[in-house]
Amino acid sequence: MFKVVFSDIALVSALGVCGPALYWRFKRTLRFADSKFSCPPCICDCPQPLSLVKIAPWLANLSDTDCGRNDPDLKQEMEKQFIDLLTEELKLQEAVAEEHARHMNITFGEAKRVASQYQREAEKCIAATETCEGAREKAEALLIKERKLTTTWEHRAREMGWEGE
């Protein structure tokens, strides 16, 4: 039974993967066989696409040698050594890590404060529940005593001739 189900799943998977490719290949071969029914080639009298120089001629005058030559900040940045750049990157990553740690400490402190507040509220609820449960038990005991007393008095009243309501 398991082999039959497994083989059916394998067959369906194979058809799902290979089926579309086989379908399109079969359809393409049929289209080439029926080429006498195909459309004639399109004749296009479109103009040639514009070149980048015609669209923005100022782009052709730019060269890499002029890049940043007049900008002192960029020139200074480009003159830095590789080790200086790595040192600066490490300092930036350290600053980000310190900021992240500070944020996490603040969040952790806030979470502890809220958890402590919830704990205090839970303790208040537990104390109130215990108080209410004790009062309920006392009221239940008093009710049982009252019912016994009422039954006793009702019994005495019936002995003396009271017929009840």
d(CA 22, CA 43): 32
d(CA 152, CA 165): 17
- Is residue 140 a contact partner of residue 146, using CB atoms and an 8 Å limit? no
pLDDT tens sequence across 38-80? 566 667 767 776 676 666 666 666 555 555 567 777 777 777 7
Domain residue ranges of the chain, discontinuous segments joined by +: 76-164
- Residue 98 in tokens: 């310190």
pLDDT tens sequence across 93-121? 999 999 999 999 999 999 999 999 999 99
Torsion sign, CA atoms 45, 46, 48, 54: positive
pLDDT on residue 27 = 74
What global pTM score does this model have? Answer: 0.37
- Residue 118 in tokens: 């919830």
